[in-house]
Amino acid sequence: MAMVTVVGLGKIGLPLAVTIAAAGHHVRGADIDPRVAAAVAAGVPPFPGEPGLAGLLAEVTGEGTLRATTDTAAAVADSELIVIVVPLVIGADRRPDYGALDAAVDAVGAGLRRGSLVIVETTLPVHTTRQRITPRLAAASGLRPGTDFGVCHSPERVSSGTVFADLARYPKLVGGIDRTSGERASAFYASVLRFTERPDLPRPNGVWDLGSAEAAELAKLAETTYRDVNIALANEFACFAQDAGLDLLPIIEAANSQPFSHLHRPGIAVGGHCIPVYPWLYAVGDPAARMPVLAREINDAMPARAVRMLVALAGDLRGRRAVVLGAAYRGGVKETAFSGVLPVVRALAEHGAVPLVHDPLYDDAELTALGLRPYHLGEPCDVAIVQADHAEYARIGPADLPGVAALLDGRSVTDPALWSGVPRLAIGTGGTASPGPEAMARDGQYAFAGAPTVT
């Protein structure tokens, strides 16, 4: 069994470290946050909400197969395999901020020894593994890539709340800077992961070596950018269908009955760590790209567009208590990364409303810390807008929102039967007219041509 260091013990890195340790390898989990390292060392998850993590973490720390440290270089010096799972974020300029990743790579390089393999699971712009990370490792270590050490890209493909299931469900993609790096990474993941059978795949589920780091980088960006573009198209269809008095959801079902159509559902916002970010990372490698950039702008415009739909449904919002149902970016997940809640609240305030926020996963202190004014079911309100598809909202009705005069359901999750007598509009259903594309262009929400490129 190998000595492995996992760098970055966040919501993706820690479950992976636990999985590697449970497979029999000796793992050092490295994180720059001493509170995270201390919690992991004590066998306690430093974050909530990942099913199965607490039990497995307690098991592997109790057995001593997983230990935690803040000294990345020292852990790497004792390891033959290093897995980097440090996030790459984008700034306000929509460009990647490499600060955290560069620091992690430099720390790995400081402890790197001959014969080691470095695997990067962070989602990256194409060419980053070979042209940025590998030279930094070489500079920090004084070793020669491809001769003294190997490098491979293997993008994480899991989601918070389903990490362990996703590790088994989806093929593990790898791509090395050379053939040997890819082969070593393939062998390692094959020793760690147990895959479920997938008869729908063109080849057996398992580790798939794509032949190069660039191919692995693009595969991850392609799968996530596709989803964003698809959602943007669905949102365009939804707004047109509403103007035409049509209900889009059964239309999508009808279209998808043909095997070459895979339309996603429209919605008020696209959130999370992945889909709103990775199209911009793709654009770094392909500055001529137009469709991913336009799709991003269309989806970014949806929160404000939804509030205008609410205005069309309920009238002037000035001075009215407007409840936003859901702070999380998606139902059942206590996470606000790129959540639609903030742009919805901003748009409501711009229309003169008094925004209030409810979320069954967050208490008042947590909502306040996010800059949101808490709301409790049963308190008076004037209008409401569903931002997150929490299961609880499928059962919510006017009695839970005393005085509510209109509901805009941004996720099509509420039950229409519970809203008889109160105007209700779900995005994608026919009814009150929404701002058309010409109005959107005049409002400057997004451009249909000449979209800016990102380099």
Q: The domain that contains 168 carries what CATH number? A: 3.40.50.720
Q: Is residue 279 part of a domain?
A: no
Q: Residues 186-232: pLDDT tens digits?
A: 999 999 999 999 999 999 999 999 999 999 999 999 999 999 999 99
pLDDT at 442: 34
Q: Is residue 451 part of a domain?
A: no
Q: Is residue 73 part of a domain?
A: yes
| pLDDT confidence tier of residue 92, bands split at 50, 70 and 90 | confident
- The H or E element that residue 22 is part of is helix 13-22
Q: Is residue 331 part of a domain?
A: no
* Residues 267-296 as b or e (16 or more Cβ within 10 Å = b): bbbbbbbbbbbbbbbbbbbbeebeebbbbb
Count, residues in the chain: 455
Per the CB < 8 A criterion, the answer to whether 300 and 246 are in contact is no
| pLDDT confidence tier of residue 48, bands split at 50, 70 and 90 | confident
Q: Is residue 147 part of a domain?
A: yes
Q: Residues 371-426: pLDDT tens digits?
A: 999 999 999 999 999 999 999 999 999 999 999 999 999 999 999 999 999 999 99
**From the CB of residue 190, how many other CB atoms can be counted at a distance below 10 Å?**
13
Domain span holding position 141: 3-211
Task: Tally the domains of the chain.
Answer: 1
Edge-to-edge, what's the strand order for the sheet holding 81-84? 66-69, 26-30, 3-7, 81-84, 117-120, 150-153, 172-176, 207-209
Q: Is residue 335 part of a domain?
A: no
Listed in sequence order, the DSSP H helices in 273-404 are 278-285, 291-314, 341-350, 364-369
Q: What's the mean pLDDT in 427-441?
A: 53
Q: Is residue 62 part of a domain?
A: yes
Q: Is residue 222 part of a domain?
A: no
